[in-house]
Structure 1
Amino acid sequence: MNMKLSHDPAPIGVFDSGFGGLSVLREIRKTLPQYDYLFIGDNARAPYGVRSFQLVYDFTRQCVDYLFQQGCNLVILACNTASAKALRSIQQHDLPLIDPTRRVLGVIRPTVEKIGEITKTGNIGIFGTPGTIQSKSYDIEIAKMYPHFHVYGHPCPMWVPLVENRESEGPGADYFVKKDIDALLAQCSDIDTVILGCTHYPLLMNKIRQYMPQGINIIAQGEIVAESLEDYLRRHPEMEKKCSKGGSCTYCTTEEAEKFNTLASIFVNEKVEATHVTL
């Protein structure tokens, strides 16, 4: 592997299995517009949500390696499934061997940290892909930080296809969003905070708000991850110096670029011109 090890200032790498992480990237760029960003979407192998732990780890590791090869010193896994199934192994086992000065961060921990400020009842609902819910990663992180909280997870396998097929405002979205909200709340009538544990789900926010009872807090991850990254860079000036500042954003995809560009523009609200890459 041709890994750049110069540690010259380089873009912040952002990875997602598909498109959803672009909603996180959009919020990060709003909060921290001065930095350069390099996004890679592994769209050719998406969705990750139904893949085994081993495959998700293998695919995520390949994408992280790619970003490291481009010189990135800091990589954000803007994907709940990858954060759930691959982050810990990469942080604990791979980084010490690759380069202990580089960092890979996920989206689950910052989200969990935030809920302590929000919930009154300590009953937390999680919407996620089947893979994220099955991994119980949110349950584990919440139990570590808030052992007295109760977590209720519900998988939403149809939500990502609704978004990616541009049906997020259509009647099909009404049916599935209402059905899944009802199923989650049937587990506990005292849930007061619901985490959207997939970065696609904010694009369904209009429907979610329509069917979610008033008084329940809905947590989308983009702003939380952006605030957490800002805080991280403030606390780690040695890493902040390794992040280049040109205000640019470059997009790469393992899928055909033209196909990626059309849908990606919906997530970032601007024209996208991606480059196809082979891992």
Structure 2
Amino acid sequence: MKSRFGNKFIGVFDSGFGGLNILRGIIKELPEYNYIYLGDTARAPYGSRSEEIIYEFTKQAVDFLFEKNCEIIIIACNTASCDALKKLQREYLPKKYPPKKILGVLIPASEEAVKKTKNQKIGIIATESTVSSGAFSRELLKLKPKVEIFQKACPLLVSLVESGEYNSKASKWIIENYLEYFKNKKIDTLILGCTHYGILENIIRKAIGKNVKIISEARIVPKKIKNYLERHKEIELKLGKNKIRKFYSTDLTDKFKILGGKFFGKPIKVERAKLG
């Protein structure tokens, strides 16, 4: 009799392209598993939207991925992690998908920042919604009550990444202008509080200075996922290991295929997803 286990996917969701950076890192750490990526590019960016709308969009994405045979979903979007994750985990998941799991990216980044800082001064760059939610601050203060936190909303950076024009002189000027906020704050650690920002890491590193440690979720989250699966064999045993990769987008554009090709070293096939 054929086993009903061992054919499930790991789902990765982001509002746009930024989560591809996370997915690449997870695949590098765990290459044997099957993955589905969903980018809600038609409605990106999420950063300036209301908490209610972000929750609704994220719930639609979760439904889509679970219906596509995912057993576990990583919400590779800080805005969605801040505004939707806990409600989904506490209220929606137990009722509709009780055996399945949804994980976010905010806690791993916070834990790493607290571990790395020496002078207890941590900077955060993120979307407007993530900054206003205070989610990073709450998590950091929970981990280390005496830490000083400095946040800067950078609303233009997601659009820069989505446009593919992030290496231009104008883009570098915009990034430098945002980071000017931290000039006299004496931070020694900077959290890139949006998965899109990981794509800009080299530019950010030059602008912020070599003495500041950069916390990039693309490096941290994959190891956390590996550790999670090692501790939760009841999930791991259900996952397929055929190296299948599927990509979905709510708006089919050449940019998704081009950027995906850059990340994975070969062209990717992208299918349209209808949410809601």
Interval containing the TM-score (normalised by the shorter chain)? over 0.9
Note the C-alpha offset of 1:207.
Answer: 1.7
Q: Does 2:248 correspond to 1:252?
A: yes
Q: Does 2:192 correspond to 1:196?
A: yes
The match for 1:135 is 133
Note the C-alpha offset of 1:42.
Answer: 0.7
> Which structure 2 residues correspond to residues 46-125 of structure 1 after superposition, within 5 A?
46-125=44-123
Structure 2 stretches lacking a partner, 5+ long:
none
Give the aligned residue type for 1:58: E
The TM-score normalised by the length of structure 2 is 0.94
8 Å contact 2:5–2:239 — kept in the other structure? no
The match for 1:183 is 181
CA distance in 2, matches of 1:85, 1:273: 30
Say which SS state the counterpart of residue 45 (structure 1) adopts: coil
Note the C-alpha offset of 1:219.
Answer: 1.1
TM-superposition CA deviations, 1:99-127 (whole Å, max 9, x none): 22110000001111112221101111001
TM-superposition CA deviations, 1:139-195 (whole Å, max 9, x none): 011111111111111011121222222222211122111111111334x2x210001
The match for 2:220 is 224
List, as ranges, runs of 4+ consecutive aligned residues in structure 1 with deviation greater than 4 Å: none
Indicate how the Cα distance of structure 1 residues 47 and 268 shifts in structure 2: closer, same or farther if over 3 A, else same.
Answer: farther
Note the C-alpha offset of 1:8.
Answer: 5.8
Structure 1 stretches lacking a partner, 5+ long:
1-5
The match for 2:14 is 16
Note the C-alpha offset of 1:270.
Answer: 3.1
CA distance in 1, matches of 2:174, 2:262: 21
Note the C-alpha offset of 1:79.
Answer: 0.6
Say which SS state the counterpart of residue 44 (structure 1) adopts: coil
1:233 aligns with one of 229, 234, 242: 229
8 Å contact 1:7–1:71 — kept in the other structure? no
Note the C-alpha offset of 1:267.
Answer: 4.1
Give the aligned residue type for 2:204: I
Indicate how the Cα distance of structure 1 residues 269 and 168 shifts in structure 2: closer, same or farther if over 3 A, else same.
Answer: farther
The match for 2:156 is 158
How many equivalent pairs are there? 272
Q: Does 2:165 correspond to 1:145?
A: no
The match for 1:265 is 261
The TM-score normalised by the length of structure 1 is 0.93
The match for 2:201 is 205
TM-superposition CA deviations, 1:45-81 (whole Å, max 9, x none): 1110111000000000000011111121100001111
8 Å contact 1:164–1:263 — kept in the other structure? no
Percent identity between matched residues is 39
8 Å contact 2:126–2:153 — kept in the other structure? yes
CA distance in 1, matches of 2:262, 2:212: 27
Give the aligned residue type for 1:9: N
